[in-house]
Structure 1
């Protein structure tokens, strides 16, 4: 920050950055920033400002792109990819702090007022209350506060009047509030940059691959999960977020600001300061969202690196990038702006050390042996494949006719009286199918039967009880 303010072109840099980056526009696309800064430089040169001038009329040499690149190299601008895949510029915490210092120096001077002293005294009192572990002292302070508040409430109820506060005091309090608010953007930017620095250190530690993989995975996944608690700025922001994240507090803040802006003393404030008061809640919400976005991005980058960590591939990428940078450093000094680059029209051919000098057997392969002829009717009596097939319809129909032709019979009893080779589970299904084609009546009872598989194992089945009477004129 001091480096920015002490440079020769500090007034111009601060003015240009303040012109391009505003509280409503914290990030600017790279192309738009180059265009706007270039237009501003052209207007200055048209009015007689030159590089060789001394003092306030001196402007730096080079295009807007060159200046932005220099500012990014010294840490005043941050160049990143936004969520919509657009490359943008963003002020660093140092640049935000420098603009705030310049804004305070050029705006209303902070004075030693009753409001500022009361803010200091309240902060010291709150600090002492939090640091004092004496229970009796805490109770005495609370009793004193209750008596003072009760006395004020009794006075208002008795008189119905509220003491008027002079407009000068209200103006001092408003200036104190604005002084506190102006420091928030730099605080939010420092938190975001501390998270990015932690992300870079984590990625560097992973790429160095100096420790066992399981230890690296365990430690860095935990840091990625609790990224906001890994730095002093992050822990401080987490504490502030517990207050700012309360919807009731933010609603109360908006209501209080509406009350302030409706008061007559705000008419004596400049329009810029009234706008700052009106945008306090929005600036806080925007700063919190920027920190949360940085935290989400850091968590995503760290998690992706941990999951896809490949030391060999990382070393290959590093070597490739070093070769590219070396090639650019060799090529750039001998080129001119706008010079054409010869495109790579074909990929380089691989260098093959040896070719195969022998061939495979040129004789065609022998055909497979012919399939064995299979006769389905030539099954031997010992072949039990039929026993694992479908139901024996003919024997089951004959057995059902013998028991249920006249008065009908219970299907479970019919199945139980069948020969063992016809009491397979599949035969039970076949018997139900045959009975369904005839006069079948369902009962309210549950029937139980025991089926025998061809290998001798038994299986018990339950189904809704039915009776069946076979029709004499059926064709089945």
Structure 2
């Protein structure tokens, strides 16, 4: 009973992990689908507002597809619940904006679903050969017996030399079968898909260390030097004593070696250009293999950025921590204590003294914000006198064509239209009857100005004013229709005559 009870406790502990709590809920399929659609395979951080909008749009599409088990609430509320479930984490990017990213638990769940969605690999020659090769290589690197290591290396050299000689002599090349290639690509994709979650674990470890450092600094229960020593020890242990740290160090060493990176690219290109790969790999798998180096670089950049944030926290504390200020505060408190003892020596036991809780504010009428700068009194450079002969020739007609509206001429045309036997319906019709010199775009403003002086109202419909610029080009303007008053109505005549009388005066 003891063994089975212990096994049950371990299984319950595994089910309590955020990875299995994500997969064990009723809405797991919907959540995984949204994570895959939003973050993709590289887990690139997404701004918080954008992810809120994307979640709402994806949920709307899933509801239209007929799915009933979907999360409820706004995109913000749903993301907050996912953060409490340890599937999303919110942080600041390099520019200081808030972004979301998947935790290592969520990436593990995505990796598991992705592996199950692929055709599962079965027992094959490729898998057995891979196991044998891995065990052989592991033994050659870890065997403590010098003679055994030399024997293994000699055997491998002899095998490779024989294969090389056979190919140089023109022997028949044995091609890989489609099953062999399928098994190899499946194992390769499985290894690559595990990289993002490994990098995320290292990133989360550094984030945890940063939170603990800040808590230790705020508590001030340990000296700052001891806190910094503890961080350096934990950072070193993270890189050497954990699986994720060793994987990070190995990937970092790989990317520092240009030859290894080039070899990796060449090998992947050769595999993707294999004649059989076109029938085996989908477009998504091909893109995943092609982006392997970029995937590793992005993961390293995020881990290094998180480690830089920890280092920046230490630097900020060391720089901002002022020992002299602490000594001044201690001296002030001691002086206050000394003055208090002196006051107690000359007063009774029931003496009181009113002490303000906060010091009084200093009254300053004006505080100088800027000081004298001699550069402000430097005279500007002398303006060079232009030669009048270099000025372009401009005629009076050209200047008048570029000037403002000719209100006198427009007023005369407007009065003629109001007293004409053939009345004009609106300002637009009057504008179309004018000569080209009075149909400039600026003349439209002049007519509207004259209409506003006469308190003429506008209608909801638009009039088209076909204007003619001084260079002969034409331009049409849409202006609310301003009807002209009917000259036959008696009410319109006194207003117009009064206006003309006032203008005459």
Query: Paired residue for 2:24?
Result: 6
Give the match for residue 149 of structure 1: 160
Shift in Å, 1:236: 4.0
Counterpart check, 1:299 vs 2:311: yes
Q: Is 1:289 matched up with 2:301?
A: yes
Query: What does residue 39 of structure 1 align with?
Result: 57
Q: Report what 1:399 is aligned to.
A: none
Structure 1 unaligned regions, length at least 5: 50-56, 314-349, 357-476
The SS at the match of 1:133 is: coil
CA shift for structure 1 position 224 = 8.7
Cα shift readout 1:15-53 (whole Å, capped 9, x = no counterpart): 11111111355111111101111112223344554xxxx
Structure 2 unmatched runs, 5+:
1-18, 326-355, 363-505
Partner residue of 1:246 out of 222, 238, 257: 257
Look up the match of 2:189: 178
Aligned: 1:70 with 2:88: no
> Which residue is equivalent to 1:21?
39
Matches within 5 A, 1:359-398: none
Question: Residues 202 and 135 of structure 1: is their aligned pair in 2 closer, same or farther, counting only changes over 3 Å?
Answer: same
Q: How does 1:70-89 map to 2 (within 5 A)?
A: 70-89=81-100
1:103 aligned to 2:114? yes
Residue number in structure 2 paired with 1:374: none
Once structures 1 and 2 are overlaid, which stretch shifts more, 69-78 or 124-133?
124-133
Task: Name the structure with the higher helix share.
Answer: 2
State the TM-score, normalized to the length of structure 2: 0.57
- 1:281 Cα offset (Å): 1.9
For the Cα contact (< 8 Å) 2:126–2:183, is it kept in 1?
yes
Distance 2:241 2:213 in 1: 13
Is 1:279 the counterpart of 2:297 in the alignment?
A: no
SS at match of 1:162: coil
**Alignment check: 8 A CA contact 1:223 1:230 kept:** no
- Counterpart Cα distance in 1 of 2:361 and 2:256: 70
Cα distance change, pair 310–7 in 1 and its aligned pair in 2 (3 A): farther
Q: C-alpha offsets along residues 173-220 of structure 1, whole Å, 9 cap, x if unaligned?
A: 111111111111111111111121122222222222222344334544
The structure 2 residue matched to 1:229, chosen from 229, 236, 239, is 239
Shift of 1:62: 1.0
Pairs within 5 Å for 1:254-333: 254-268=265-279, 269-309=281-321
Q: TM-score, normalised by structure 1?
A: 0.60
Q: Once the two structures are superposed, what CA deviation does each residue of 1:352-379 show, in whole Å capped at 9, x if it has no partner?
A: 79999xxxxxxxxxxxxxxxxxxxxxxx
Structure 2 distance, partners of 1:144, 1:75, is: 50
Change (3 A) 1:355 1:34: closer
* Deviation, structure 1 residue 92: 0.3
Please report the RMSD computed on the Cα atoms of aligned residues, expressed in angstroms.
2.8
Q: Secondary structure at the match of 1:193?
A: helix
What is the distance in 2 between the residues matched to 1:144 and 1:354? 89
Q: Is 1:127 aligned to residue 138 of structure 2?
A: yes
- Structure 1 distance, partners of 2:137, 2:322, is 52
Distance 1:214 1:65, change over 3 A: closer
Taking the TM superposition and a 5 Å limit, the aligned residue runs for 1:461-476 are none
Q: 1:41-98 CA deviation, whole Å, 9 max, x = no partner?
A: 223344554xxxxxxx211221111000110112100101111222110000000000
Could you say if the C-alpha distance between residues 301 and 235 of structure 1 is closer, same or farther in structure 2, counting changes exceeding 3 Å? farther
Q: Which residue is equivalent to 1:393?
A: none
CA–CA separation in structure 2 for the residues paired with 1:304 and 1:69: 30
Task: Determine helix, strand or coil for the equivalent of 1:301.
Answer: helix
Asked if 1 retains the 8 angstrom alpha-carbon contact of 2:23 and 2:109, the reply is yes
Cα 1:119–1:294 change in 2 (3 A) is farther
In 2, the alpha carbon distance for the partners of 1:11 and 1:305 equals 45
- Kindly state the Cα deviation for residue 129 of structure 1 after the two structures are TM-superposed: 2.4
CA, structure 1 residues 200+120, in 2 after alignment: closer, same or farther (shift >3 Å)? farther
1:216 aligns with 2:227: yes
- Determine if contact 1:195/1:231 at 8 Å carries over to the other structure: no
Distance 1:83 1:227 in 2: 27
The answer to whether the 8 A contact 1:167-1:265 is kept is yes
Q: How far does the alpha carbon of each residue in 1:420-463 deviate from its partner, in whole angstroms, 9 at most, with x for none?
A: xxxxxxxxxxxxxxxxxxxxxxxxxxxxxxxxxxxxxxxxxxxx
Q: CA deviation at 1:227?
A: 8.2
Pair 1:225–1:307, CA change in 2 (3 A): farther
Conservation of the 8 A alpha-carbon contact between 2:111 and 2:194:
yes
CA distance in 2, matches of 1:279, 1:351: 64
Deviation at residue 172 of structure 1 after TM alignment: 1.6
